Amino acid sequence: MAKSKYKRVLLKLSGESFCKPGAFGIDGATLESIAGRISQICKLDLQVAVVVGAGNFLRGEAFSKVTHIPRNTADYMGMLATIINACALQETLEKLGQPTRVLSAIEVAAMCEPFIRRRALHHLELGRVAILAGGTGNPFFTTDTCAALRASELNADLLIKATNVEGVYSADPKENPDAQLFERLPYDEVLTRNLKIIDHSAVTLCRDNNIPIIVLNIFEKGNMAKAICGEQVGTLIRSS
């Protein structure tokens, strides 16, 4: 069996990873497929942390613009939605035999542990997947930024941003069929070209802590395992 090129990986899962394209909520078959892929990479002799988004339920910024709910409250509602996704992923992973813990930046004692750095590291060292919910625990920060923050705190060797596109393009491939897919990009070029695939605050945080980012399509079977084993998949963002 192939071995991981990395010791500790943080996977950023969007909320859309939990449902069918364009749908809402959690789709059981989609969830089981994603959990199966996470379970498989856990067999590659590495430690795995996961940050979950909540776009399948609610995006705080967008929700606040179409309601009378202020952005800070809407963002906290989104944080609660990440806990729903995290608990669903935990139960599905454990059905597959993969030990898992959910740690949240906001306290929901009946469902998950509080995020404490040393506790998260302890779970990782024992071979458990650490699912990190609740975002950063603060409004006005995205789960992309949370992923970069947690990757930095946990000394991750790699941040994988799992999406429904093949990687980082020069333009939106859905709108421009001539858009170029990049295999490699320096951090600073993502910022200067204003490429939108990942929050710029997350890119800056990874740059400052020298954590490479791979943007890939999680729905392509085997993509994560290939990337973790050092094969060219998606777009690698790192120092030039």
Determine the pLDDT at residue 175: 86
Determine the pLDDT at residue 1: 55
Determine the pLDDT at residue 231: 95
CA distance 80 to 72: 13
Nearest to 105 by CA among 113, 117, 115, 93: 115
Determine the pLDDT at residue 30: 96
Q: What is the pLDDT along the chain (240 residues), one digit of tens a residue?
A: 578 899 999 999 999 999 988 899 999 999 999 999 999 999 999 999 999 999 999 999 999 999 999 999 999 999 999 999 999 999 999 999 999 999 999 999 999 999 999 999 999 999 999 999 999 999 999 999 999 999 999 999 999 999 988 999 998 888 888 899 999 999 999 999 999 889 999 999 999 999 999 999 998 989 999 999 999 999 999 997
- Cβ–Cβ under 8 Å, residues 99 and 128: yes
Could you give all domains of the chain from N- to C-terminal order, each with its CATH number? 8-238 (3.40.1160.10)
Determine the pLDDT at residue 196: 85
Q: Is 33 exposed, middle or buried (0-12, 13-18, 19+ CB in 10 A)?
A: middle
What is the pTM (predicted TM-score) of this model?
0.95
Identity of residue 6: Y
How far is CA 140 from each of CA 35, 146, 165, 225, rounded to the nearest angstrom?
29, 11, 25, 33
Identity of residue 69: I
- Tokens for 11? 């996977």
Name the helix (H) or strand (E) containing 135.
none
Q: From the CA atom positions of the chain, what is the Rg in Å?
A: 17
CB atoms near residue 180 (< 10 Å) = 10
- Cβ–Cβ under 8 Å, residues 172 and 29: no
Label the pairing between strands 100-104 and 113-114: parallel
CA distance 221 to 37: 8
Determine the pLDDT at residue 240: 73
Secondary structure class of 29 (helix, strand, coil):
helix
